[in-house]
């Protein structure tokens, strides 16, 4: 979220699932030296969903607004700003910006300068704090609007997967969390930075002062919802159709890339159906094919048909 000096939002937010910035991300990736260079500089491979490409897009397409840029905040940081007036960021959520070295827990001047070497962006990055830190108390105007007392304190908080790790007890080695929502993520906790063999694994920081290497795909319940809507079925009807289909969906296979894909990095990919014939092309098989598509085409599971 780009803000001016007065805290006004300069432009609508481009979210992580917006793949319009694929070209900007590819440009930054090449400037970093490709996947290996990105791993060396940041500890991970930057992806189109990361904030860096969104900032470059904003600078390129809206130079007049760029000239007013004072602060860059992630959405949850902006909520904290609205509550307290404080502009800060947190290590876990900052890991997904593409501007942050996950191993040293610091903003990367190298990555920032690739987008803007004038110093404007570097000065616009907020200070970093741990998730448990209190960043201030609720502003009087916010307290009145929410019906809160003026002494209510606000902590820094963290990103969705980082908070999900805490909620699922994933705060020490040996635990894995699988989160299936619009996207799908699989992550585990580590006491030290993780040097993954694959650049598909992002070695993010956790919100418990450790690390949370994770892998993320962009199409899970977003894909099943698309099919459910197409067939005009409520959840009960969708589940009833699932129960009518045998595992394997009669050979029907789906690539569920409705939103492009983050892992593997295919931002321009599109969804498709395969192996259809006059016998297996049924509503039930279509429902099961989209449900089976998440594990089958995710790199989380190495032994599947994908």
Strands (E), 19-148: 71-72, 89-90, 100-101, 106-107, 128-129, 134-137
Q: What are phi and psi of 300, to 5 degrees?
A: -65, -25
Q: What is the DSSP letter of 126?
A: P
Sequence-distant (6+) residues with CB within 8 A of 200 are 45, 215, 263, 264, 299
Reference 102, options 184, 194, 2; nearest CA is: 194
Q: What is the widest separation between alpha-carbon atoms in the chain? A: 67
Q: How is residue 241 written in tokens?
A: 């159709």
Select which of 160, 232, 234, 279 is catalytic: 160
Give the angle 172-176-182 at the CA atoms, nearest 5°: 130
Cβ burial, residue 6 (10 Å; 0-12/13-18/19+): exposed
Rounded Cα gap, residues 115 and 16, in angstroms? 18
Rounded Cα gap, residues 294 and 216, in angstroms? 11
Whether the bond into 264 is cis, omega within 30 of 0? yes
Number of other residues whose CB lies within 10 A of the CB of residue 304: 12
4 is catalytic: no
Rounded Cα gap, residues 122 and 110, in angstroms? 10
Rounded Cα gap, residues 136 and 207, in angstroms? 18
Sign of the alpha-carbon torsion through 93, 49, 24, 28: positive
User: Active-site positions?
Assistant: 160
């Amino acid at each position: 979220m780009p803000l001016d000096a007065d805290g006004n939002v300069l432009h609508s937010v481009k979210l992580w699932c917006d793949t319009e910035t694929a070209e900007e991300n590819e440009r930054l990736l090449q400037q970093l030296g490709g996947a290996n260079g990105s791993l060396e500089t940041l500890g991970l491979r930057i992806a189109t969903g990361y904030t860096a490409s969104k900032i470059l897009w904003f600078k390129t397409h809206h130079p007049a607004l760029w000239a007013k840029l004072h602060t860059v905040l992630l959405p949850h940081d902006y909520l904290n700003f609205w509550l307290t007036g404080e502009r800060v960021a947190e290590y876990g959520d900052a890991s997904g910006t593409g501007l942050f070295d996950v191993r040293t827990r610091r903003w990367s001047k190298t990555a920032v300068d690739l987008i803007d070497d004038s110093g404007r962006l570097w000065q616009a990055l907020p200070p970093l704090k741990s998730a448990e830190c209190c960043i201030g108390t609720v502003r009087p105007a916010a307290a009145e609007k929410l019906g809160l007392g003026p002494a209510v304190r606000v902590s820094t908080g963290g990103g969705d997967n980082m908070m999900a790790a805490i909620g699922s007890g994933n705060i020490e080695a040996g635990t894995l969390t699988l989160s299936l929502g619009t996207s799908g993520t699989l992550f585990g906790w580590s006491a030290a930075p993780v040097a993954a063999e694959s650049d598909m694994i992002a070695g993010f920081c956790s919100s418990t002062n450790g690390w949370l290497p994770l892998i993320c795909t962009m199409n899970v319940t977003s894909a099943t919802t698309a099919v459910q809507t197409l067939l005009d079925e409520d959840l009960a009807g969708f589940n009833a159709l699932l129960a009518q289909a045998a595992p394997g969906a009669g050979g029907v296979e789906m690539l569920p890339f409705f939103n492009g894909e983050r892992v593997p990095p295919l931002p321009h990919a599109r969804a498709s159906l395969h192996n259809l014939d006059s016998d297996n092309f049924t509503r039930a098989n279509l429902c099961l094919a989209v449900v089976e598509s998440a594990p089958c085409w995710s790199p989380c599971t190495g032994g599947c048909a994908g």
